[in-house]
Amino acid sequence: MAPIRPYRRYHPGTQPEYLHPPYISSQKRAPSQPLVHLPHTISEITGPVFGQELIDVKAFDLTRQHSGEPLGERIIVSGRVIDEDGRPLSHTLVEVWQANSAGRYAHAIDQHDAPLDPNFTGCGHTITDAEGRYRFVTIKPGAYPWQNHYNAWRAAHIHFSVFGPAFATRLITQMYFPGDPLFALDPIYQSITDQKARDRLVAGYDHDVTTHQWATGYRWDIVLTGAARTPIENPHRGAEHR
């Protein structure tokens, strides 16, 4: 049997700290003791495999999941899932979830005083192709208030999940939009202290992705390893308080 090749650990300085005091949830959930690194065994580095047969081919288009058109600015978000050397992660599951154009999630816990959209659920998924490419059609999400501090608002964002070859490699992160005035006031975004790392979470407008008279386009690549790795959400830091 071939020796087990473990996954690479995070490159120092590429990820947010577990504890970022302005992000109130992190004060309650951050580990108080040093983490214990468990060895990577065959259980961690194999499976599950999400094949094309398990994917709804229409799920990449979040604007076509109901009987009518959702409200808001239609956008296309596309990019590649790659490693630090630019090699693609092919045939991997990518999921997204987001608020609607008014800044409200289709979830019972979200009681933000904004309208729900009966034609927008805000969830989708796809499989990357042989070159690691993905593509989603959706509605640009709105900013929304949360209970972190007085008059707190989250910058508009889309949540991404990339599974990779196994559960242990799952990456959950957030993609932002360029020029958002809430960046400087958002403690989740600001919890990443390296400006270059923060910039890697911001998609770029791409006129080649934009479709004539139909949708504006954004390009956002997800880098899984190395010094240019995309910052991820730490599971110990908890969720947003809505």
Q: Map residue 139 onto helix, strand or coil.
A: strand
Taking CA 65 as the corner, what is the angle to CA 59 and CA 71, rounded to the nearest 5 degrees?
120
Q: Pick from 120, 125, 124: which is nearest to 72 by CA?
A: 120
Instruction: Cite the active site residues.
Output: 105, 144, 154, 157, 159
Cα angle 196, 135, 164; round to 5 = 70
- 219's enclosing H/E stretch is strand 216-219
CB 6 within 8 A of CB 46: no
Cα–Cα distance, 152 to 149 (Å, whole number): 5
- Give the separation between CA 71 and CA 119, rounded to whole angstroms: 8
